[in-house]
Structure 1
Amino acid sequence: MIEGRVVHKVSNALQITFHAGPGDPLAVGVQGAGNGFGAKTAILFGFKNGGTGTHRLTYRDGSVVWVQSRDSAPTILSRGDGTALGTIQRADTSTAVGSTAGTLFHFVPDPEEPRTPELFRLLVLDRMGAETARLDVIRTVGGWTVRRLVEDLYNESIWWDRAGQPLPVPILGTRLWLKHAPDPVERDVLLGACVDITLGLRPYVAVMK
């Protein structure tokens, strides 16, 4: 499981910190780190609490993924050196398309209970339509303590099962349950999607709109 929790930085930018277990973070995403001066000023003065912009995801080894969240256009994912990773096309469901490998993932609503007062529930399907992960988008503090039936999902341990404090952020975080360890491109795209949802406030399924 990879869990990402959102807080505000001193600069008022939203920040999501991902953990895959106890210890140092796996990665940290920062709202608008690649924005121009005007957009950064809007964040600083509290006029832009999440939303479109170029967000930076930095792994603990220093590698970077840029997540460009856009209105009415696909999200663009790229590496720190500018190498294209792919795009995420959003509609009533969403599809991640790699720059060279074609379709990587489909994001669809959980057919049993896609929305509760605490969270949104999504399924992540591979290019053939098989379930590869489940994604919880946490809406309220209570969402952190709602357990999902994980069955045979990869690495199903919950390292912390506690409610955090109420945060003045639109989305409190994400929780990604994986059926198998992702390869580097899959990992970058999945965490990029989590950044897009929490910092970019992009809806990935119809019930999130």
Structure 2
Amino acid sequence: MIEGRVLHTTSTAPEITFRSGPGAPLATAVHNAASRKHRITYADKSVVWVESKPTDPTVITRGDGTAIGTVLRADTSTAVASTGGTLCHFLPHPDTPRTPDLFRLLLLDRSGNKTGRLEIIRTPAGWAMGYNGEDARDTTLWWDRTGPPLPVPILGTRLVMNRPIDRVERDILLAACVDMAIGLQPYVAVMK
């Protein structure tokens, strides 16, 4: 599980810190409202850029400009690697895609098999919500960390995968978290 919590810094630019457990953060992302580009910096100092525009696909690149992939946003969204292959699809959860506390998305692979889930947390209570008991072992670490309300419309993200992911998948999925949480881009129709 990778959890991203949004906070405002003194510069008023929202920031999201990603953690996969206690200890040092996995990555931190910073919002740049003027350019609509967001920078993800990993603990190893590698950088990923997320360029987000309201009507164009989200473009994800490495710090040196090398393309990683794009996310095509519509009523559902699809992440495509720079090689042209589909990485995943973002769909609304079939039972409860939207509650007052969070948005729930399913992640499907190119064949339509469920590979994980992504929750976009909207209220402090959203952090404490389980996922109907599914994969409860993945969320118990965070049940006691609801935190105070923050002055942003999205408080964070929770990404749970059913299998290990490679670097490209991780970069694309964290870029999607940044795009939704601090870029405020809807990835499914229910988020609009």
Question: 1:152 Cα shift?
Answer: 5.3
Gaps of 5+ in 1: 40-51
Give CA deviations for 1:46-86 in whole Å, capped at 9, x if unaligned.
xxxxxx70000000000010000111110000000000001
What aligned pairs does 1:123-138 form with structure 2 within 5 A after superposition?
Answer: 123-138=106-121
Residue identity opposite 1:16 in structure 2: I
**2:126 matched residue in structure 1:** 143
Mapped to 2, the partners of 1:157 and 1:14 lie a distance apart of: 25
Residue identity opposite 1:159 in structure 2: L
Query: What TM-score do the two structures reach when normalised by structure 2?
Result: 0.95
SS at match of 1:159: helix
**1:158 matched residue in structure 2:** 140
**1:185 matched residue in structure 2:** 168
**1:100 matched residue in structure 2:** 83
Mapped to 1, the partners of 2:71 and 2:114 lie a distance apart of: 18
**2:60 matched residue in structure 1:** 77
State the percentage of identical aligned residues: 60
Mapped to 2, the partners of 1:157 and 1:204 lie a distance apart of: 23
**2:18 matched residue in structure 1:** 18
- Length, aligned pairs only: 191
**2:180 matched residue in structure 1:** 197
CA contact (8 A) 2:101 2:125 kept: yes
Shift in alpha-carbon separation, 1:20–1:150, aligned structure 2, 3 A: farther
Whether 1:115 and 2:98 are equivalent positions in the alignment is yes
CA RMSD of aligned residues (A): 1.5
Mapped to 1, the partners of 2:31 and 2:134 lie a distance apart of: 34
Whether 1:3 and 2:3 are equivalent positions in the alignment is yes
CA contact (8 A) 2:88 2:109 kept: yes
Question: 1:193 Cα shift?
Answer: 0.3
CA contact (8 A) 1:94 1:108 kept: yes
CA contact (8 A) 2:128 2:142 kept: no
CA contact (8 A) 1:55 1:67 kept: yes
Give CA deviations for 1:132-184 in whole Å, capped at 9, x if unaligned.
0100100111100000146459x725322131101001110000111011100
Residue identity opposite 1:115 in structure 2: R
Gaps of 5+ in 2: none
Mapped to 2, the partners of 1:26 and 1:150 lie a distance apart of: 26
SS at match of 1:193: helix
| Structure 1 moving runs of 4+ over 3 Å | 149-153
Question: 1:101 Cα shift?
Answer: 4.5
**Alignment counterpart, residue 74 of structure 2, candidates 87, 91, 96:** 91
Residue identity opposite 1:60 in structure 2: A
